[in-house]
Structure formats: C-alpha cells, structure tokens
Structure 1
C-alpha cells in the first residue's frame, strides 16, 4: 500500500520511502528518510536525483559513506557534483558562463 505522507504526519512501520524530489538540504533529507528507521527498524529509501540537485550531491555522498547500513551508488560516487560541495554561487557562475 502506498501512502503519501506530508510534514508532521507519523505513519508507523514505514519500510520504504521514495523521494521523487531530493530535499533542498541534507538535514531535510535525513529527516525524510528517517521515517524508515523508527524504533530501531530498518528500511529502504530511494531518491531520484537530477541536475537541479547538484548542490546536495556532495553532502548526500558524505552522509551515505558515513552510514554503516548504506552504500554510495556508483553514479553518485563518480558524479562531478559529488566531488566537492557546490554552492549556489558556484552554480550561478557556471550557468552564467555557459550562456
């Protein structure tokens, strides 16, 4: 059964979270996927990433690498945006240069 959970709603026994859109910060991401780990339980979190998520890829890679239960997917591990933290200013300058 699929349930769309909004902010502040507690759904017990969640075993899988699918993020169609990456959170804007790593802290918000951890909060979202934390729904799968309540009361010592484990679960799966699937998050779709795109070019708009470059600002969070480095932090996501670091968070996954620190986790004893997670692995860093190869696509994220080798993505240029995951090699160093990209700030909005860096992204804006790059986008301005590309135009």
Structure 2
C-alpha cells in the first residue's frame, strides 16, 4: 500500500460547523449531531471540548472528501474486522519491530 495524494486540500473545507457537517459522508452526520448535542447541551459549554470536536470532525471531513472510495473501503474493512469476517492483522508495534524500529 502506498500513500496517495488527496485532491481536497484542508483549505477546501471551511472550518465551521455548517461547512464541516455539510462535507461529511451521510453515514457520519448522525454521530456528528449526537456529539455536538452532548457538548452544547451541558449546563456550561466547555469551549475547549467544542474546539476539539470541530477540529476532529473537520479532519474527518477533509479526509473523507479527499478520497471518498478509500474512506468507504476503510469503513468496510473496519466493519469486517469488528464482525470477525477478517482478522485485524499485525499491530503497528509489531510491524515496526519487524523493521527494526523500537518504540
């Protein structure tokens, strides 16, 4: 597997709640809404948590928009691993150890 350049630059999706939500794959919108509601319905809104939330979802939106087919493939493979249809394979630490890298 090689890294492929993504066609959507990080600046292509504005880092706002509306733009990020609109850029998400449909399967992720409910999770976005639920997490946002949990943060904003608190008695006191934690602004750091709100900023972390937006940053995290912005990264997801950029990544998913950059290569939608790869994004879908990743979710398909993750579901196969969760359901036991596919083994998880070696951990990153195991792969690095085989290459002589010590953590």
TM-score range (shorter-chain normalised) is under 0.3
Higher helix content, 1 or 2: 2
Higher strand content, 1 or 2: 1
Q: TM-score under structure 2 normalisation? A: 0.25
Task: Specify the structure having the higher radius of gyration (Cα).
Answer: 2
Q: TM-score under structure 1 normalisation? A: 0.26
